[in-house]
Structure 1
């Protein structure tokens, strides 16, 4: 009985919260949906635009008796609303002219004669002098809440086996004012901070004074995902980045090439005369929005704007993205951001009935203070957002600091999650999701994680089938120390392998970390030119089940390391350490590491013992992390990485065999190329001074696996090119479907084009060739000409697969050279 009465109870609750709710579909005379039609409440600025399928939802706290529906080329229609709640209306628009007093232009009209575009050009001219940029210094309070909700909840879901025993969680449901769908809050994070900025330096400082979390507060992976999901954006920018995609802003200078703009109305808002402009995309499948904005007639500053991603946009797992921003009038010439709201609807598909999860962020700004001069050092001083006091603020603090009160459902999240954590079935679901996300099985009573599960099975020519099991300590996401280890067994060589590491955070402020460990294993060396001595690091090629050609150039490695690392400046790390390695071939008959050794009875040695001292400088400007323990988690991937490494090999110390010096540098930078997608670039260079054996030289990284691995050359075999001096360049451009979206036959497949080009040049000295002459592989370097390859790839196949077709540019005369290869990868990407 409770379930049958639920829709009625829900309707009554809706009547109490909002005075007017209306949803439906807009069609033309033959029943075809009308996308991007304008739906508003009369004599108001409250409205929406129909989606790609002609559907809409609109609500208001005020009681309205009708709605106005209009679109270019159709008669404007006023639809009566007989009740406060009117769902599933079918509205038929008739062809004809718009109302005389509303001036509209279609996107195909000349841009010179469109008043909406004339206004847009004035926005461009004024945007740099609006808002906070008008003042020398500024301060304000900032309150942010991020919420996740289960959505599209119906009686079938409530009665499903999945929620049997959890029915109590559906006692309080609400309706989204954006989509009209029911939802259940499951996660809430609140942050209150004070922001101080100086436009003259320019510098900005944010002091986090309170941080409160419900739901999965101890799961660092989920928290990091939330942080990355809702990075800051500026609607005045040419491109807005969401989910690793660059969407063209409707206020962009390139907007007139991808949007239609229509000037529909003008009215007073907060005693300011404003123009109302509607925009919608010219083409399907592009990363664009639809929506509207109100702009002041004198300052050309935004008063409010709505942005909604079209369903045809080439983005996975996201059914809706809705953004609204409201601006406050400070005086005749200053409009400041007052409230920023963003809703994302995550679902497996974009059908109207599909169930998913809402992600919502609300940010409210208030108490602005201007031109309050503070010392320059004040703005340069970073505060600690992880101070324990920040997470221990009481209810009095939050009642005073919230710039927007929590509603009933948001208030109940804290109680709901405390209850759910005691329910065994919910804990099972949570553990399953956590395992799939992190790769580790949590054993709370032992403070251990078992895994990672994705490394359990492997295969290579030396070990045959390989099984691996490991564990790590885990008391919490901010552990000051961590122990980790694994054991593996090869069924062909019948040998056990192991690895062990320990890390200790000695000082949190400077992030002084001491680490070390030992690994004895079989490894495919030469997969990276500038690899670091991660004692537990292991390449995909070392255990790859699928390879091309003979994958027999494997090495035995016994590596011990001890490192000291500090971060004296944000995102600038210094690492100093020592390592001792013993290297030998894992399959001597097929691949040896022999070198000339006058001290050996045979004049030849096949094993290297080497002690190295290493100093590394790592700079990652723009990198954001979460947590303050010995292991932090990245929350963004658009930062550059500059790596400078100096290695000194010491002969004689701990029976080390060789003296040498190595200099290495690498620079990796992702570039958002506006509407053309994302370019990933890497430059690497290095030089080894001294004479060393093959196992210590720099191998141009080939790739004989069937997996697409960035920074490798898929048409090179392992050890095909060996150098002591090298320069390499990798470029990979993902166009995110920009060109496929213009091809009618395949545009609905949402495929993405990926183009790559890479090259390497290197030398190998006569002394190194002579030292390594006993080796049974040819020692060649790409010194005569730059070795290069290019690839053409298709991504987003069935939303998860990517295929790359790789072509070798030269050195085709090399023995068994592979002129062509196909590699692939899979993963879940937006």
Structure 2
């Protein structure tokens, strides 16, 4: 009797959880796929449209016995659903009369007289009068869940040898409500925060109150990548930025040029009468979506929208991209964002059956409050001190603040990953992945990391073959101090090199950091105009295996530094640094650094001893970081950088040779130009006051490697131009395939066009030329006219390769001038 009761209870619970799931393909009489067909559950607002391959998936919490498929020019079909789950249906639409039922148009739609576009214009008029923009101040709670899953799980996948001993992980397999594919959760990050904003001040601030990771909280590389992957977006903006690309929003003012719009239906959603508008792209190979949205008939605020990226969009490694947003009604006029869901299917191949990884982000907004004015000082973004409590909230906190409950599979992920990390095989695989991403081998028993492994091998004309070994202390991502060092050996000069640095974070609140270091090495100077602060840093040109011609302009450098950094406000850094250097040529028989020194018996010196004091101000608005330790990870490079550097050299102190002053300015700004792509602009200027030797002057950064390196001049040799005064500017623009997508033979290759232009004006005084006369080097500066180069590049070749064709614009008659060069590199980008 007891077993019967249990069985009845189980059947009753299944009935309560009844769902209708259906997937398939829509084709015509010849078996050709029909894109953008309307797939609906009759007498409901639940539906979708087929993709470019005619495929669809639809799921509902309700039970429906019939599925309706319709398209203008075809006889509609109603398919009886024999079961609650019906997969792999094939629906054939025959050409026939247009029905009076809901239909979807295909092909280009007219702009004039189109009721959908008339509604769209109303949305444009009202978009700044909806939501939080109606109020002077606002506050809301925000819960975000980011999840990664293996997808397309089948028996062949489960039985792979790699999972032997880890079969228990497949107990968490579930089915996606968007694609109908099976998936296995492997990573979850949850966060809860309060967001405050002031529309009068045009500012906002987000205060993190809780954060929880599923087993990988100590791996900054994974967390940093996840945070970078999903930026915030607004469907009312003209462009929606995802994966560092700008998709045209279906609500964009330019949308009428790239989308077809059709007024499909109207119905009540809750107690609000809404119009349903279907949209799909006018052209292929552009960054566009397909889908539909419901919009209120009086406020013209969007109540519900779904967006699915076109399969032909020029986007790498992403097979599916789906967005769904729901808005809640506060009163008769205010619609507020309630739920935002994004799903991306990452895969190496675009085939339907190919396996990959889902990335899913769910964001819930609730507890809105308005017009609670706070002082301007409240919104000043100070440096956030690390609060250990935020990252160690108990289960009670999450039960109270998790606005969307985890399903059983998501709950199991936390326990599953904790168990999985104890499996030796998984630990080996995890360690290998960490090494490939970070470049460091973790030696956890000693709290040390070995690496970076990518610097192990090098070559240059002074050292020949070079081997390097190094490491750092690592107790966790929020270490308040760190030691780092390396040693290297050159098999040609038969000399050991070394470097060591130490950093201490004295005050977390204002990021007061003291650091010191020393290095003895061979370095290619003059590869950047504005020097970096990394005492262990070494330019790529210093160990380039393949170069255009011999590289003998290398410097033997012995450097010691001590610095103090302070961050009074978020992304504003003040730093002072003391440096002592000895500089001499690494190949004196080929590259001479001699200069006039009347204190020497010969009147000539070949080595510089120099003590400098540097004062720096750096501002990086929009920069996002992760971690609270002495070293932080940068979430993305999509932010501006303003850097002002003042250097003072003092003669006589510690036998320092020169008394001089130098002022330098650096400005870097990325620009997103919507459908036209993305630009990066850099401006630099500097002046050295007083006479100094070549090793302290400002060479214009050349590039004798075969790699495309931004902010260098690929057709200049090292030290071809040397200045004490300079102004430089560079612009690089990536059209992201905007042009190639309109060329029939090229658009399927998804190539991307890159153009660049670089220019520099500089001068060198007669006194500096005379001081460096004993070296025999020809010191010239581009003072007669601005030196410039331009380039045309092709990116995304095989999704990984970029090739640039670089042209020299002038100064073509200089000795050994390179008029043309080809450079390239490997780029992993979406």
Q: TM over 0.5, yes or no?
A: yes
Structure-2 separation of matches of 1:70 and 1:231: 36
Q: Is the 8 A contact 1:750 1:796 kept in 2?
A: yes
CA shift for structure 1 position 210: 1.4
**Contact map agreement 1:106 1:262 (CA 8 A) in 2:** no
- 1:241 paired to 2:241: yes
1:573, 1:618 within 8 Å by CA — same for their partners in 2?
A: yes
Aligned position for 2:625: 625
The equivalences for 1:768-779 within 5 A come to 768-779=768-779
Q: 1:425 aligns to what?
A: 425
Inter-partner Cα distance in structure 1 for 2:379 and 2:686? 39
- Give the count of matched residue pairs: 820
SS for the counterpart of 1:331 is: coil
- Paired residue for 1:447? 447
Displacement, 1:137? 1.8
1:783 aligns with 2:783: yes
1:331, CA displacement in angstroms? Answer: 1.0
Q: For residues 128-164 of structure 1, what are the alpha-carbon distances to aligned partners after superposition, in whole Å with 9 as ceiling and x for unaligned?
A: 0100010122222211111111111110011011111
Alignment CA distance shift 1:379-1:614 (3 Å) = closer
1:4 counterpart residue number: none
Match of 1:188 in 2: 188
**Aligned partner of residue 139 in structure 1, secondary structure:** strand
Whether the 8 Å contact between 1:421 and 1:427 is mirrored in structure 2 is yes
Cα deviation, residue 570, structure 1: 0.8
**Following the alignment from structure 1 to structure 2, what is the Cα–Cα distance between the partners of residues 674 and 207?**
30
Q: How does 1:152-167 map to 2 (within 5 A)?
A: 152-167=152-167
Give the match for residue 258 of structure 2. 258
User: Is contact 1:484-1:501 (8 Å) kept?
Assistant: yes
Query: Does the aligned pair in 2 maintain the 1:207–1:385 contact within 8 Å?
Result: no
Secondary structure of the corresponding residue to residue 386 of structure 2? coil
Check the 8 A contact 1:105/1:114 in 2, yes or no.
no
Between 516-525 and 770-779, the greater mean CA deviation after superposition: 770-779
1:562 and 2:579 aligned: no
- CA-CA distance at 1:196 after TM superposition: 2.1
Match of 1:363 in 2: 363
Q: Distance in 2 between matches of 1:727 and 1:786?
A: 9
Task: Give the structure 1 partner of residue 3 of structure 2.
Answer: none
The SS at the match of 2:773 is coil
Number of the residue aligned with 1:695? 695
Matched-pair contact (CA < 8 Å) for 2:626–2:633: yes
- Provide structure 2 residue ranges, at least 5 long, that are not aligned to the other structure: 1-11
- SS of residue matched to 1:706: coil
Q: Write the distance in 1 (CA, Å) between the matches of 2:244 and 2:136.
A: 33
Cα distance in structure 1, aligned partners of 2:335 and 2:88: 38
Per the TM alignment, residue 98 of structure 1 is displaced from its structure 2 partner at its CA by 3.4
Q: Contact 2:191/2:212 (CA < 8 Å) preserved in 1?
A: yes
| Structure 1 counterpart SS, 2:629 | coil
- TM-score using structure 2 length: 0.97
* 1:435 aligned residue: 435
- 8 Å CA contact retained: 1:248, 1:288: yes
Contact residue 203 and residue 380 of structure 1 kept, 8 A: no
On the 8 A contact 2:715/2:808 being kept in 1, the answer is: yes
Classify 1:39/1:744 alpha carbon distance in 2 versus 1 (closer, same or farther; 3 Å). Answer: same
Query: Cα gap change, 1:18/1:613 in structure 2, threshold over 3 Å: closer, same or farther?
Result: farther
Q: CA, structure 1 residues 722+383, in 2 after alignment: closer, same or farther (shift >3 Å)?
A: closer
- 1:178, 1:247 → 2: CA distance? 21
- Contact preservation (8 Å) 2:36, 2:104: no
Identify the residue that residue 726 of structure 2 maps to in structure 1. Answer: 726
**What is aligned with 2:27?**
27
Preserved contact between residue 381 and residue 569 of structure 2 (Cα < 8 Å): no
Other structure's SS at 1:225 match: helix
2:494 aligns to what? Answer: 494
Matches within 5 A, 1:578-589: 578-589=578-589
- What is the aligned partner in structure 2 of residue 607 from structure 1? 607
Q: Which runs of 4+ in 1 moved over 3 A?
A: 12-18, 101-107, 373-386
Query: Which blocks of at least 5 consecutive residues in structure 1 are unaligned?
Result: 1-11
CA distance in 2, matches of 1:478, 1:444: 15
Q: CA deviation at 1:74?
A: 2.7
Corresponding residue for residue 232 of structure 1:
232
* C-alpha deviation, 1:215, in angstroms: 2.8
Shift of residue 213, structure 1, vs aligned partner: 1.2
C-alpha contact 1:206 1:383 (8 A) present in aligned 2:
no
**CA distance in 1: counterparts of 2:193 and 2:260, whole angstroms:** 39
Once the 2 structures are TM-superposed, how far is the Cα of residue 737 of structure 1 from its aligned partner? Answer: 0.6
C-alpha distance in 2, partners of 1:385/1:137? 26
Determine the structure 1 residue equivalent to 2:647: 647
| Residue of structure 2 equivalent to 1:8 | none
Label 1:484 to 1:383 Cα distance change in 2 as closer, same or farther (>3 A).
closer
Is the aligned partner of 1:282 residue 2:271?
Answer: no
- Following the alignment from structure 2 to structure 1, what is the Cα–Cα distance between the partners of residues 523 and 515? 22
- Tell me which residue corresponds to 2:796: 796
Answering whether residue 635 of structure 2 is matched by residue 635 of structure 1, we say yes
Distance of aligned partners of 1:368 and 1:821 in 2 relative to their CA distance in 1, 3 Å threshold:
same
Q: Is the 8 A contact 2:624 2:636 kept in 1?
A: yes
Distance 1:594 1:48, change over 3 A: same
Please tell me whether residue 682 in structure 1 is matched to residue 682 in structure 2: yes
Q: Distance in 1 between matches of 2:806 and 2:208?
A: 49
SS at match of 1:111: coil
Pairing 1:100–2:132 present:
no
Aligned residue in 2 for 1:198:
198
Answer whether contact 1:669 1:681 (CA < 8 A) is retained. Answer: yes
* CA deviation string 1:70-128 (max 9, x = no partner): 23433332222111111111111222343235476555343112111111111011000
Tell me the distance in 2 between the aligned counterparts of 1:74 and 1:607.
85
The answer as to whether partners of 2:521 and 2:556 remain within 8 angstroms in 1 is yes
- 1-structure distance, mates of 2:326, 2:597: 75
Contact 1:208–1:385 (Cα < 8 Å) also in 2: no
2:760 counterpart of 1:741? no
What pairs up with 1:647-666 in 2 under 5 angstroms?
647-666=647-666
Once residues 278 and 284 of structure 1 are traced to their aligned partners in structure 2, the CA distance between those partners, rounded to angstroms, is: 17
Listed one character per residue, the Cα deviations across residues 758-790 of structure 1 (whole Å, up to 9, x for unaligned) are 001000000000001112321110000000000
Deviations 1:286-332 (A, max 9, x none): 11111110001111000000011112111111111111000001111
Worse-superposed segment, 196-205 or 276-285: 196-205
> Per-residue deviation at 1:407?
0.6
Three-state SS of the structure 2 residue aligned to 1:339 is strand
Distance in structure 2 (CA, Å) of the matches to 1:295 and 1:243: 28
Distance 1:381 1:493, change over 3 A: closer
Cα distance change, pair 665–818 in 1 and its aligned pair in 2 (3 A): same
Map residues 80-119 of structure 1 onto 2, 5 A cutoff.
80-100=80-100, 102=102, 108-119=108-119
Cα 1:419–1:500 change in 2 (3 A) is same
Deviates more, 1:609-618 or 1:107-116: 107-116
SS at match of 1:561: strand
1:528 and 1:455 map into 2 onto residues whose CA distance is 20
TM-score w.r.t. length of structure 1: 0.97
Partner of 1:298: 298
The answer on whether the counterparts of 1:470 and 1:487 sit within 8 Å (CA) in structure 2 is: yes
Looking at structure 2, the residues matched to 671 and 654 of structure 1 have their Cα atoms a distance apart, in angstroms, of 46
Asked if the contact 2:383/2:511 (under 8 Å) is kept, the reply is no
1:691–1:771: 8 Å Cα contact kept in structure 2? yes
Preserved CA contact (<8 Å) 1:205 1:382: no
Superposition deviation, residue 186 in structure 1: 1.0
1:308-347 alignment, distance < 5 Å: 308-347=308-347
Q: After alignment, is 513-522 or 41-50 more displaced?
A: 41-50
Matches within 5 A, 1:52-71: 52-71=52-71
1:138 aligns with 2:128: no
Match of 1:811? Answer: 811
Tell me, in whole angstroms, the C-alpha distance in 1 between the residues paired with 2:411 and 2:609: 63
CA contact (8 A) 2:23 2:58 kept: yes
